[in-house]
Structure formats: structure tokens, C-alpha cells
């Protein structure tokens, strides 16, 4: 089975922390998906949910993950990371096909 995403170590730690501290039920999995619409195009979504028809389920580093089969092409190669800085804190989606922007020095 092809696993379209990867999860960084920092994101894995945060996801496992959420599962344990928020009492996420054992039959729930991390759902990764996309939302369409608007001028900005696609946006990415994370949440916890039960397995539904049309889902593909797999495990990444002991984290059960669900992705709707129709979302695979939008998530292929995507990496989920967790950012924690003075200005913001949260999960980020990194597309390795889009070069990182480097500000001029």
C-alpha cells in the first residue's frame, strides 16, 4: 500500500500528546484531508474521526491515520510538521514539490 504522507517526529509527539491528554477514543484515528473552495484553492485539514466508507487506513509510527481515497492525489508526498515559535504554534503541511521561499538578506 502506498502511504501518501509522512509525519515528522515533532508532529508525532504532538499528535500522541493530543490523543492522551484530550482522551481521544481508541476507535478514532487521525484524519488527514483537504478542503476545497475559495480563491485560495485547497486547504489541508487534520482531526480525529472514525473509519468511514471510502477511507484508506494505515499506521505511521503507531498513529492510526485515515485518508479518503479521493484525497490521495492532493496529499501525495505531503509532510505534516508541528511548528512552535513565538509567533505561532500548530501543525503545518509541507509540500516538497514547492521550493521553500528564502527571504533576501
Model confidence, pTM: 0.84
The 10s digit of each residue's pLDDT in 47-63 is 999 999 999 999 999 99
Q: What's the CATH class of domain 5-94?
A: mainly beta
Domain boundaries, the chain: 5-94
* pLDDT value for 39: 64
Residue of higher predicted confidence among 105 and 44? 44
State the SS3 of 25-75: CCCCEEEEEEECCCCCCCEEEEEEECCCCCEEEEEECCEEEEEEHHHHHHH
The 10s digit of each residue's pLDDT in 74-91 is 999 999 999 998 998 999
Amino acid at each position: 500500500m502506498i502511504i501518501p504522507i509522512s509525519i515528522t517526529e515533532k508532529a508525532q509527539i504532538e499528535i500522541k500528546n493530543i490523543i492522551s491528554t484530550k482522551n481521544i477514543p481508541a476507535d478514532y484515528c487521525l484524519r488527514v484531508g483537504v478542503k476545497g473552495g475559495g480563491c485560495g484553492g485547497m486547504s489541508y485539514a487534520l482531526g480525529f474521526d472514525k473509519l468511514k466508507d471510502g477511507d484508506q487506513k494505515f499506521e505511521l509510527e503507531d498513529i492510526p491515520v485515515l485518508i479518503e481515497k479521493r484525497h490521495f492525489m492532493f496529499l501525495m508526498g505531503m509532510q505534516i510538521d508541528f511548528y512552535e515559535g513565538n509567533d505561532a504554534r500548530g501543525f503545518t503541511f509541507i509540500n516538497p514539490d514547492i521550493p521553500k521561499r528564502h527571504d533576501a538578506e
